[in-house]
């Protein structure tokens, strides 16, 4: 059974197409991730699915309800954690949850029981009486996750759930999300631009860039599809070496990226000497060579032609020369 | 079915407004300061200001007090519009808008919260004014005061809601609000009898809903008025209903961020 289906979901802002004919399905019980750089259109998709924004074209159903014609049914079925904090700072944690529960029509007994329950789920029992302005960023995030779960939603939307949190808090939140997914049987759809988050948390990932979903699969399948291993080669005459390697039967794919070649091949360890030999044959010098298993980063690079870092730096208009220096030696 | 009159939702929004109000001490006293000083200083300074249209047995401070009460209500009501803008800025509006409740219930909840806080401000002001020298004309009249206070606050809370629904920034909101509220105030007869104006300006006063608010409050507090109180109340009620409709309409069409 599908928790979410979208068909040609599209959002245009004047000339900009923020979401471009996106179609995908999320199964019940999944943790589905939308992975993409800043401005890819992730939040816009979430806003349309949660009825906060009407699509320009296309349609979607959440838990079987159309986002256009059954808004209140959709709203009742979903829990939301927005990208930016959406709490009332002048209320306590408990009061924020209580407000939420009342808005969703929960009766008093259920309300109080559920508040304690969700507070315990995210480990905030002893902070319930504290004003939100005295919470740390991570505590606020956990409270928002608890609040999203208050009314027993079928589908929980998490828009960049760990943005701006330290690595330790981030790992905690991943644990919470996994546990909630199992304990509460809630389908989770989250957005992120952290590879690691998508990799360790999601059952399936959709890679999104410039409003388009480029590929959807499990993290394992995506990585496996890249070919087994990846050789990173830095050499003098890259162009020549690239065309030479492309002709070799053992090379599955070779891509040039900046001052490096990324070569995918099976049994990468054994291909290092072969690559060195190839370079010598055409008279170029290899400066560095390394081998690793493919990561989501490679998957992302394969489909978008860029690393996620690059896109974000370009958005911030960092000159490319400086960008390289900052990244340091390879 | 769309449940637009959802008591639990209205109560939740009202309760939140009360908590926020009671936790913001500076707001409670800060917004009373200006009208209180006006009352005290103008009341003393213009002690001998006595236009023909003002009955002889009423001194200027008593004439001014109902007018200043209207000011307290009018400006106190602006907070609700501000609160919408705050909520939008701090993202909380999304939390409200994504809930499965009708926009009308949200507007009613916010209106009720805004009217209650404006009313609390109003009663605080009356207490202070009594201390400064306001003399109530009678108990029966006084019982009418809350009615007029509710209509005035209800009107301006929804005016604020309507304008906040169309605006993005706080500054723009205050500018637009002041641009509307100050002329209404000056034409309302809050500070002096409108007979001081040339006749054509008096006509502007007669189409100013706040004029009927001030007139009604003056009847309730000091027993003097130009029109019968039920007429004042009827005009205000119409205006207030219109504003609630406008507020609800514009709010339900507004963006969440
Ligand atoms: N209300 C709006 N009006 C005009 N353009 C918008 C609006 N909201 C989003 N956009 C544009 O749509 C594109 C997608 O934005 P969106 O917020 O969905 O990206 P995102 O993937 O969530 O990015 P991030 O990782 O930074 O949150 C961006 O180019 C953005 O500038
Ligand atoms: Mg986003």
Q: Which stretch of A213-222, A226-235, A317-326, B87-96 has the lowest confidence by average pLDDT? A: A317-326
Tell which residue, B80, B82, B77, has the closest CA to residue B170.
B82
A103 and B97 in contact by Cβ < 8 A? no
Nearest CA in chain B to A148: B95
Cα A42 to averaged position of ligand 2 atoms, centre (Å): 5
- CA A146 to chain centroid, in Å, comes to 20
Strand A57-62 and strand A2-13: the pairing is antiparallel
Q: ∠ CA(B91), CA(B95), CA(B98), 5° rounding?
A: 125
Minimum CA distance residue for ligand 1 atom 16? A41
Minimum CA distance residue for ligand 1 atom 29? A39
- Whether the pLDDT of residue B164 is over 90: the answer is yes
B12 and A85 in contact by Cβ < 8 A? no
3-state secondary structure A50-83: CCCCCCCEEEEEECCEECCCCHHHHHHHEEEECC
Q: For residues B136 and B144, give the distance between their C-alpha atoms in angstroms, rounded to a whole number.
A: 12
- C-alpha separations of B14 from A37, A210, A239, B8 in Å: 40, 42, 69, 10
- Report pLDDT digits (tens) over B2-43: 567 789 999 999 999 999 999 988 877 877 888 888 888 888
Q: For residues B20 and B82, give the distance between their C-alpha atoms in angstroms, rounded to a whole number.
A: 13
Position A312 confidence tier, pLDDT thresholds 50, 70, 90 = low
Q: For residues A141 and A211, give the distance between their C-alpha atoms in angstroms, rounded to a whole number.
A: 27
B90 and A89 in contact by Cβ < 8 A? yes
Minimum CA distance residue for ligand 1 atom 30? A39
Cα A133 to averaged position of ligand 2 atoms, centre (Å): 24
Asked whether residue B2 is domain-assigned, the answer is: no
B9 and A52 in contact by Cβ < 8 A? no
ipTM, two decimals, is 0.89
Nearest CA in chain A to B95: A86
Q: For residues B232 and B242, give the distance between their C-alpha atoms in angstroms, rounded to a whole number.
A: 16
Rounded to the nearest angstrom, the minimum Cα separation between A150 and chain B is: 12
pLDDT score for A237? 86
Asked whether residue B34 is domain-assigned, the answer is: yes
Tell which residue, A179, A221, A185, A180, has the closest CA to residue A203.
A221
pLDDT score for A324? 31
Question: Is B25's Cβ below 8 Å from some Cβ in A?
Answer: no
Cα A83 to averaged position of ligand 2 atoms, centre (Å): 6
Asked whether residue B143 is domain-assigned, the answer is: yes
Q: For residues A234 and A276, give the distance between their C-alpha atoms in angstroms, rounded to a whole number.
A: 11
pLDDT score for B235? 96
Rounded to the nearest angstrom, the minimum Cα separation between B250 and chain A is: 16
Domain count, chain B: 1
- Report pLDDT digits (tens) over A139-165: 999 999 999 999 999 999 999 999 888
Give the ligand with the smallest distance to the CA of A82.
2
CB atoms within 10 A of CB A210: 17
B100 and A99 in contact by Cβ < 8 A? no
Cα A37 to averaged position of ligand 1 atoms, centre (Å): 11
- Could you identify the atom of ligand 1 that is nearest to the CA of residue A53? 1
Q: Which residues contact B99 (CB under 8 A, 6 or more apart)?
A: A75, A100, A103, A104, B9
Query: Which strand ranges, in their side-by-side order, compose the sheet holding A57-62?
Result: A16-27, A2-13, A57-62, A65-66
Q: Assign B5 to helix, strand or coil.
A: coil
Asked whether residue B1 is domain-assigned, the answer is: no
Asked whether residue B116 is domain-assigned, the answer is: yes
Structural domain range at position B137: 7-47+55-253
According to DSSP H, which parts of chain A are helical? 42-49, 71-77, 93-103, 108-121, 137-149, 167-183, 195-201, 219-224, 238-247, 268-281, 296-304, 308-315, 320-327
pLDDT score for B33? 82
Cα A44 to averaged position of ligand 1 atoms, centre (Å): 6
Q: What is the mean pLDDT of residues A272-286?
A: 89
- A contact set with B (CB within 8 A): 50-52, 71-73, 75-76, 78, 80, 82, 84-91, 95, 99-100, 102-105, 147
Which residue(s) pair with A18 in the sheet?
none
Asked whether residue B78 is domain-assigned, the answer is: yes
Please give the model's pTM, rounded to 2 decimal places: 0.85
Rounded to the nearest angstrom, the minimum Cα separation between B253 and chain A is: 12
Q: Assign B148 to helix, strand or coil.
A: helix
Question: Is B16's Cβ below 8 Å from some Cβ in A?
Answer: yes
């Amino acid at each position: 059974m599908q928790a979410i289906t979208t068909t040609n979901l599209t959002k245009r802002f004047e000339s900009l197409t923020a979401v471009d004919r996106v179609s995908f399905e999320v199964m019940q019980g999944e943790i589905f991730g939308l992975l993409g750089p800043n401005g890819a259109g992730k939040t816009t998709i979430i806003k349309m699915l949660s009825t906060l924004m009407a699509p320009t074209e296309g349609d979607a159903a959440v838990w079987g309800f159309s986002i256009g014609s059954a808004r209140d049914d959709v709203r009742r079925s979903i829990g939301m954690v927005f990208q930016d904090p959406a709490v009332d700072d002048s209320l306590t944690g408990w009061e924020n949850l209580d407000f939420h529960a009342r808005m969703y029509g929960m009766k008093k007994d259920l309300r109080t029981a559920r508040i304690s329950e969700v507070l315990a789920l995210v480990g905030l029992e002893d902070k319930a009486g504290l004003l939100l302005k005295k919470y740390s960023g991570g505590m606020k995030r956990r409270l928002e996750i608890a609040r999203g779960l208050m009314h027993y939603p079928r589908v929980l939307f998490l828009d960049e759930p760990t943005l701006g949190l330290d690595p330790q808090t981030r790992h905690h939140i991943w644990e919470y999300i996994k546990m909630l997914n199992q304990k509460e049987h809630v389908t989770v759809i989250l957005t992120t631009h952290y590879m690691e988050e998508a990799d360790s948390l999601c059952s399936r990932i959709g890679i999104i860039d410039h409003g388009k979903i480029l590929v959807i699969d499990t993290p394992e399948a995506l990585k496996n599809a890249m070919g087994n291993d990846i050789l990173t080669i830095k050499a003098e005459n890259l162009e020549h070496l690239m065309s030479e390697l492309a002709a070799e039967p053992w090379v599955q794919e070779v891509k040039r990226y900046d001052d490096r070649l990324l070569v995918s091949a099976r049994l990468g360890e054994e291909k290092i000497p072969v690559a060195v030999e190839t370079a010598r044959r055409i008279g170029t010098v290899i400066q560095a060579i390394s081998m690793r298993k493919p990561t989501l980063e490679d998957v992302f690079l394969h489909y978008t032609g860029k690393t996620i870092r690059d896109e974000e730096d370009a958005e911030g208009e960092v000159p490319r020369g400086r960008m390289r220096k900052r990244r340091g030696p390879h | 079915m769309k449940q637009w009159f959802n008591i639990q939702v209205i109560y939740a929004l009202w309760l939140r407004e009360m908590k926020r109000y009671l936790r913001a001490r500076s707001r409670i006293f800060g917004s009373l300061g200006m009208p209180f000083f006006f009352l005290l200083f103008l009341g003393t300074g213009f002690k001998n200001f006595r236009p023909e249209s003002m009955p002889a047995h009423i001194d200027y401070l008593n004439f001014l007090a109902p007018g200043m009460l209207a000011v307290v209500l009018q400006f106190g009501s602006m907070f609700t519009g501000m609160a919408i803008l705050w909520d939008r800025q701090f993202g909380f509006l999304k939390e409200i808008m994504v809930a499965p409740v009708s926009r009308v219930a949200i507007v009613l909840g916010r209106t009720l919260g805004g009217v209650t806080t404006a009313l609390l401000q109003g009663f605080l002001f009356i207490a202070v004014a009594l201390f400064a020298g306001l003399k109530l004309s009678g108990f029966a009249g006084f019982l009418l005061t809350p009615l007029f206070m509710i209509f005035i606050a209800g009107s301006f809370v929804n005016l604020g809601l309507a304008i906040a629904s169309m605006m993005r920034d706080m500054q723009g909101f205050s500018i637009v609000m002041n641009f509307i509220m100050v002329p209404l105030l000056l034409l309302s007869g809050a500070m002096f009898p409108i007979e001081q104006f040339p006749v054509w300006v008096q006509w502007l006063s007669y189409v100013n809903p706040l004029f009927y608010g001030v007139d009604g409050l003056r009847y309730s507090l000091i027993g003097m008025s130009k029109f019968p109180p039920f007429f004042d109340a009827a005009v205000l009620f119409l205006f207030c209903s219109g504003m609630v409709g406008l507020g609800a309409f514009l709010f339900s069409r507004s963006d969440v961020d």
